[in-house]
Amino acid sequence: MNALLKDHALFHSRDLDEARERVAAVFCPHRLETLGGARGLFDARHHHLPGQRLSLNYIEYGAKTLIAPGELQGFYLLQIPLDGGAEITNGRETYLSTPDRAAILNPHLPTRMTWEEGTRQVLVQISRRAMQDHLAQLLGGPSDRPLTFQGPIDLRQGPGAALRRMVMWLVAETDAGSPPIGPAPMAGLMAHQIESTVLSGLLETPHDHAAQLARLRAAPRPRHLRLAEEFIAANLDQPVTLEDVAAAAGISPRGLQMAFREWRGTTPLGFWREARLARAHADLLSAPPGTRVTDVALRWGFTHFGRFSELYRARYGLCPRDTLRAAGG
């Protein structure tokens, strides 16, 4: 079985103490032990791609291992098993994580894990501050309590399946030589948007602020926001500017930007782009034989096909051509 993120290897060692120290340098100090007399099977490796607000990681230990970091403090940790599984305790929750069920570790709750022999996992380490800031953007202000996710996350359907596709696309692109994320200042606006998509995807899974977010999404929109969204919906296949949308909504461009930030967590043109991507996605899924990706892209105003493909993969976890191929059976 091939290791992932192979060009971003941190270490490969059969020494338990070295593995503990090297992993702790990326995550946090922790207890690491082999269980059941399996020390001879211990064969650890850690691959790590840092970003601005999150990092991608691939870890395996070979042997059955106990990992007890206590409270992670500074980061949330999404763990997606590729093989094997792990028993997870995070706070009062205890559950089994498998290739169908991801673990999500909350930084303010004590954690203890047992990885089974042969377990391989992709892990997404997310800055606690970045996660809370992203939530505050959607809420319109900071929360009075820490964001607490409820694991495990079902990876077979719904938001969990979409999140897994997104993460594995990031891994696949990295292994193809085109890492979609990277540390600042090397990474640009596209990397920032991709990271935001991962954070938003995680917020679609169960957590203690879900009801509050749902109420905000269902709340009546201000009149100028409703007019702006109606104008965008009516002109998805036309080139529009921020000034065009603001004029239709009867508000200043700056006021419109502030309204979209408060109510939608994005910009007016970001909202317009996402709506066009959704239409393109629907067209690709229902495309008749003979349809070309370029036809669909042009229909919805995407004239730079490479850029369209990047945006589409970041949003849906696969490239437009693969969606078209799947639609054709």
Q: Is 193 helix (H, G, I), strand (E, B) or coil?
A: helix
Take residue 270 and report the two structure tokens written for it: 């970001």
Structural domain includes residue 1: no
183 and 84 within one domain: yes
* Long-range contacts (CB closer than 8 Å, 24 or more residues apart) made by 89-98: 89/113, 90/151, 91/148, 93/150, 93/151, 95/151, 95/152, 96/152, 97/151, 97/152
243 and 199 within one domain: no
230 and 201 within one domain: no
Nearest to 57 by CA among 103, 125, 107, 118: 125
CA gap 191, 207 in Å, rounded: 25
Query: Would you say residue 184 has pLDDT above 70?
Result: no
CATH code for the domain in which residue 35 is found: 2.60.120.10
pLDDT of residue 55: 97
The phi and psi torsions of 27 (rounded to 5 degrees) equal -100, -90
CA gap 105, 123 in Å, rounded: 11
* Mean pLDDT over the full length of the chain: 89
242 and 191 within one domain: no
pLDDT of residue 142: 80
Burial class (CB in 10 A: 0-12, 13-18, 19+), 295: exposed
Kindly state the percentage of the chain with pLDDT values over 70.
96
Q: Containing domain of residue 252, as a range?
A: 220-327
pLDDT of residue 328: 63
* Radius of gyration for the chain, computed over Cα atoms and rounded to the nearest angstrom: 22
Query: Would you say residue 329 has pLDDT above 60?
Result: no
Beta bridge partners of 124: 56, 78
192 and 100 within one domain: yes
> Which pLDDT tens digit goes with each residue over 19-58?
999 999 999 999 999 998 777 899 999 999 999 999 999 9
Structural domain includes residue 294: yes
Burial class (CB in 10 A: 0-12, 13-18, 19+), 89: middle
Looking at 188, 211, 234, the residue that finishes a domain is 211
Q: Model pTM?
A: 0.71
Query: Would you say residue 149 has pLDDT above 60?
Result: yes
